[in-house]
Amino acid sequence: MLEWTKFPKIVRGDGMWLIDEDGNRLLDGVASMWCNVWGHSKRELINAIIMQAKKLQHSSLFNLTNEPSELLAKKLIDISPNMDQVFFSDNGSTAMEIAIKIALQYWTNLGFSNKTKLLHLKMDIMVIHLVQCQLDMYQNFFKIQI
């Protein structure tokens, strides 16, 4: 069995680079697993985070709202033609689940409740999440065909 060697310890980031404890620069080509698309240690982002953290670090959006979310929603609506509502999710799986439920409800509202087939190109984490939803409490609400 392959034994793992010691992993590099990352101590800081600079733009698109991660720097380890030995000073080696590693290109962060996946934006720290897609969560850091603007790079590391950007002064503008640091200042915005500090200002917001002084007011509120986190607030669930489940039946609640907050000013930054409302401002972002307004900006998105302003730049998006024919859109007057925004839904925020805290992760990709839930975002996909809700998007599909909205689409299914849309067709149901138009009288096409039989439009339930979904197309996917490969078996990935989003599809696995949808299969789980199909198997749990949603199975009597939507009949999703994957």
User: Chunked in runs of 10, what are the mean pLDDT values of the chain (146 residues)?
Assistant: 82 96 95 86 95 93 90 97 89 79 89 81 65 55 54
Does any domain span residue 86?
Answer: no
Pull the structure tokens for residue 77. 């609506």
Pull the structure tokens for residue 54. 């002084």
> Domain residues for 38?
10-53
Does any domain span residue 65?
Answer: no
Does any domain span residue 59?
Answer: no
Does any domain span residue 80?
Answer: no
Does any domain span residue 87?
Answer: no
Does any domain span residue 67?
Answer: no
Residue 134's pLDDT is 59
Does any domain span residue 107?
Answer: yes
Residue 90's pLDDT is 78
* Structural domains of the chain, count: 2
Does any domain span residue 66?
Answer: no
- As a 3-state breakdown, the chain gives helix, strand, coil percent values, each rounded to 5, of 40, 10, 45
